[in-house]
Amino acid sequence: MSNIVERIFPDHLPTPEELAQRFPKRDLPEGAMVTRVGPSPTGFMHIGTLYVGRLCAQFARQTGGVSILRIEDTDKKREVEGAVDFITHAFDHFGVSFDEGVGVDGADMGAYGPYRQSQRKEIYQAYVKHLLATGKAYPCFATGEELEAMRDKQQLRKMRTGYYGVWAEWRDRPEEDVQAALDAGIPFVIRFRSEGKIERKLKFEDLLFGERKLPENDQDIVIMKADGLPTYHFAHVVDDHLMGTTHVIRGDEWLSSVPTHLQLFEALEWETPKFAHIAPINKMDGTSRRKLSKRKDPEASVGYFEELGYSNEAVLDYLMTLADAGFEDWSNENPGTSSWEFPLTMRGLKGSSGPLFDFEKLGNISRNFVATLKSPAVYDRVLPWAEKHDADLADMLKADPDRARAIIAIERDEAQNVRKDIEKWSDVKAELEFFFDDRFTLSADEARGMIDYLDANELATLVSEFLEGYDPADDNATWFGKIKELGGAHGFAMRPKDFKKNPDDYKGTVAHVARVFRILLAGKERTPDLYSIMQVMGPDQVKARVSLVL
């Protein structure tokens, strides 16, 4: 067999002993967690990847450990150009940083790289060679057509499909057959020689699912493909060992693969990390519950939230509510404290069983966060977002930055009850647009139609008298006093309780009077503080707008 091993790997490869020296055991404090997230660049980044990355980074941070961003790019056929950059920029955008791995500039950070699996080919091959030399792996020359015919036979006989037992035709083939296949230049893969028995149960402890019993793996899985790159199963085992991963936190779709992974760790005589398989993020589809789908759900992509303009803090805080039911109470008890300070635990994560994505809850969290920002901070966040996603909004913001900040400051900077109407940066456009005359399209007929509790003459008289008493130098109290008096003179109740007591005696309340000017100034019935709007607009614009119905 030694001759076959040398024929398969004729070039020099490092020995396992040399690799052990190259990747020494980490010197970390007791209890420190080394975690990793390993996205594949095969398309957009799933929100679940951001979720797992967030958890991995936080566990490592709060235990004095190390978090790693590893790019698992061995499936070159499915790799999408630019996907690695998207992944690194997505984590960076949402404020999830790692201690080691592929950085936002594409360069490696850390001493345990390379952190792209495609650049670790000789490392994997060194261990494949070791397994071949110790009889724990073998070359398989079965063609695609032969494997398909094998599956057809298995299905016809109602047997489990796969390469195992008597179906593993190259497992014990004579050495001369292997030599002949190599001589003929037949493509081959390397398979792991499994000693598992499907009828036996393997018991292991999952940090979230508890004790699990699963059938042993009896499949002779491929560990090295024909192109010389490893499969996911083999590569991640090698990487987790060499990088010193202590905790593998990943989606529960990998739970059934644990017997295979434990088998590989055992064959290589390595200590196994602890496993924590988390439930996937779900959504309601009618009356049924299902996993977020890359194909069906735009919110499955992290890019969706960035494009709409959700703040990274809001998205991360929302993900923490999915991870631990106790986060929301902690956040309320610790206002203004970063969610990175939350004491995340496996016990808390264990209680999160199939978290349900809730846009309403995300919206509430986002509005509450944006409400904590002063107008300069909102402006500074909205502008770069708009320059990337809404050029029209960016033009408005840049046309007169001071005025834009003043608009954003309404019911924000000095208000006791801060407005909570901005959920995402894309909402800001509607708050700015009506201040610009070239974008304000309300016609006199439309205004009169919206103010249907006054006829045209009553409306014109009310507006004329408002203009007679209008003084932009009035403070808020004086201005509101004039509005009340104006309403009282035109048949509106000056006190809500009077209207409530005798509604037929009045045309409405002072709120209905204010609504007249909200509509004339902003084109809508609901606006932020009306006095503040008029102060930002200035007397010329106010007079021109309200004169529309004269």
Active site residues: 294
Q: Which domain holds residue 477?
A: 440-549
Note whether 400 and 488 are within 8 A (CB).
no
Q: Are 449 and 334 contained in the same domain?
A: no
Question: Cα–Cα distances in Å, from 298 out to 15, 43, 467?
Answer: 46, 13, 50
Tell me how many domains the chain contains. 4
Rg of the chain taking only CA atoms, in angstroms: 33
- Sequence-distant (≥ 6) Cβ neighbours of residue 278 within 8 angstroms: 51, 52, 55, 208, 249, 250, 251, 252, 349, 352
**294 labelled binding-site residue:** yes
Q: Are 326 and 270 contained in the same domain?
A: no
Q: Are 160 and 271 contained in the same domain?
A: yes
Where does residue 340 rank: exposed (0-12), middle (13-18), buried (19+ CB within 10 A)? middle
**End-to-end Cα separation, the chain, in angstroms:** 99
Query: What is the value of pTM for the model shown?
Result: 0.88
The pair of structure tokens assigned to 93 is 């955008």
Q: Are 479 and 330 contained in the same domain?
A: no
- Sequence-distant (≥ 6) Cβ neighbours of residue 252 within 8 angstroms: 209, 277, 278, 279, 280
Q: Are 130 and 272 contained in the same domain?
A: yes
Distance of CA 453 to the CA centre of its chain: 48
CATH of the domain at 274: 3.40.50.620
Q: Are 469 and 453 contained in the same domain?
A: yes
CA distance 223 to 32: 31
Instruction: Establish if 190 belongs to a structural domain.
Output: yes
Instruction: Establish if 268 belongs to a structural domain.
Output: yes
For residue 256, give the nearest of 291, 294, 212, 223 by alpha carbon.
212
Q: What's residue 415's pLDDT?
A: 78
Q: Are 509 and 434 contained in the same domain?
A: no
Q: Are 192 and 262 contained in the same domain?
A: yes
Residue reference for tokens 């400051």: 409
- The one-digit pLDDT tens for each residue of the chain (550 residues) are 678 999 999 999 999 999 999 999 999 999 999 999 999 999 889 999 999 999 999 999 999 999 999 999 998 888 999 999 999 999 999 999 999 999 999 999 999 999 999 999 999 999 999 999 999 999 999 999 999 999 999 999 999 999 999 999 999 999 999 999 999 999 999 999 999 999 999 999 999 999 999 999 999 999 999 999 999 999 999 999 999 999 999 999 999 999 999 999 999 999 999 999 998 898 888 888 888 887 888 899 999 999 999 999 999 999 999 999 899 999 999 988 999 999 999 999 987 777 888 999 999 999 999 999 999 999 999 999 999 999 999 999 999 999 999 999 999 988 788 889 999 999 999 999 999 999 999 999 999 999 999 999 999 999 999 999 999 999 999 999 999 999 999 999 998 899 999 988 999 999 999 999 999 999 999 999 999 999 999 999 999 999 999 9
